[in-house]
Amino acid sequence: MALQRLRALGAELLGQRVRTNDGELDLVLRLDGRLLCVEVKSSRWIGSGAKFRPGNRFSLSQEQRQVRAAQALARRWTPGREPRRVLAELWFDEQGRLVQERWHELETRPRKAHQRRPFRL
């Protein structure tokens, strides 16, 4: 689902579940000449009042590994350009239909706890 949304924006898929010495990246795309690394977290929809968010499973140590992996790939695939990093949170109902999505632009360096900006699709 996340890949479909990004392809609709003109992003070119470079790899899925890309493994590096530093960690794994769920999606690696090229968008507007920059590397876009996407972490996808999904969950079943519990209701609008639910406090759980799929992104809560994206720990600071995971993010630090992702930063190193994204920077290593960017040096090889888009030299001189910082990679963009995005967290996609997706909620699905019991039938597998997308109910809600939230996209967060992540900093090029690891975040402090719970510090995220919206990503504009």
pTM of the model: 0.83
**Confidence (pLDDT) at 14:** 95
pLDDT digits (tens, 9 = 90+) for 62-119: 888 999 999 999 998 888 899 999 999 999 998 999 999 999 988 766 555 555 656 5
With a cut of 90, say whether residue 48 has pLDDT above it. Answer: no
Tokens for 88, please give them: 């996609």
Sign (positive/negative) of CA torsion 110, 117, 23, 10?
Answer: negative
CA dihedral 100→121→5→14, nearest 10 degrees, is -130
Q: How far is CA 119 from the centre of its chain?
A: 10
Q: What is the pLDDT of residue 45?
A: 83
pLDDT tens readout for residues 7-46: 999 999 999 999 999 889 999 999 988 999 999 999 988 7
Helix (H) or strand (E) holding 72: helix 60-77
Cα separation, 56 vs 106, whole angstroms? 14
List the domains of the chain with CATH numbers: 2-118 (3.40.1350.10)
